[in-house]
Structure 1
Amino acid sequence: MSTDNRTALLNLIATHSFRLGDFTLASGQKSDYYIDCRTTTLHAEGGRLSGLLLYDLIREHFPQAEAVGGLTMGADPLVSNTASASAWHFHQHHHNRPPHDNELVHGFLVRKAEKMHGTGRRLEGFHKIGAHVVIVDDVCTTGGSTITAIESTQESGMNVIGVLCLVDREQGGRANIEAAVPHAPFHALFTANDVRAAHIALKQP
Structure 2
Amino acid sequence: MDKTMLAKAIYDTARLTGQFKLRSGQVSEQYFDKYLFESDPVLLKSIAEHLAKLIPPETEILAGLEMGGMPVATALSLETGIPVVFVRKKAKEYGTCKLAEGQSIEGKKVCIVEDVVTTGGQILLSAKDLVQYGADVQYVVSVIEREAIGRENLEQAGLHYLSLFQMDELLSASSA
Instruction: Compute the TM-score of the two structures, normalised by the length of structure 2.
Output: 0.88
Q: What amino acid is the match of 1:39?
A: L
Task: Tell me if 1:196 matches 2:143.
Answer: no
**What is the aligned partner in structure 2 of residue 174 from structure 1?**
151
Classify the secondary structure of the residue corresponding to 1:133. Answer: strand
Q: Highest Rg: 1 or 2?
A: 1
Deviation at 1:34, TM superposition (A): 2.7
Deviation at 1:196, TM superposition (A): 1.4
Q: What amino acid is the match of 1:51?
A: A
**What is the aligned partner in structure 2 of residue 93 from structure 1?**
none
**What is the aligned partner in structure 2 of residue 51 from structure 1?**
48
**What is the aligned partner in structure 1 of residue 65 from structure 2?**
71
CA distance in 2, matches of 1:80, 1:15: 23
Deviation at 1:126, TM superposition (A): 2.4
**What is the aligned partner in structure 2 of residue 159 from structure 1?**
136
Residues 4 and 173 of structure 2 are in contact (CA less than 8 Å); yes or no, is this contact kept in structure 1?
Answer: no
Deviation at 1:32, TM superposition (A): 6.7
Deviation at 1:193, TM superposition (A): 1.0
Q: What amino acid is the match of 2:165?
A: F
* Distance of aligned partners of 1:32 and 1:137 in 2 relative to their CA distance in 1, 3 Å threshold: farther
Deviation at 1:23, TM superposition (A): 5.3
| Stretches of structure 1 lacking an aligned partner (at least 5 in a row) | 88-104
Question: Once superposed, what is the RMSD of the aligned Cα atoms?
Answer: 2.1
**What is the aligned partner in structure 1 of residue 75 from structure 2?**
81
- The range that moved more, 76-85 or 11-20, is 11-20
Name the count of aligned residue pairs. 176
Residue-by-residue CA offset, 1:123-165 (whole Å, 9 max, x unaligned): 1112232111111111111111222221221111101121111
Deviation at 1:25, TM superposition (A): 4.1
**What is the aligned partner in structure 2 of residue 16 from structure 1?**
13
Task: Tell me if 1:120 matches 2:114.
Answer: no
* Distance of aligned partners of 1:27 and 1:49 in 2 relative to their CA distance in 1, 3 Å threshold: farther
Deviation at 1:26, TM superposition (A): 3.3
| Stretches of structure 2 lacking an aligned partner (at least 5 in a row) | none
CA distance in 1, matches of 2:21, 2:119: 14
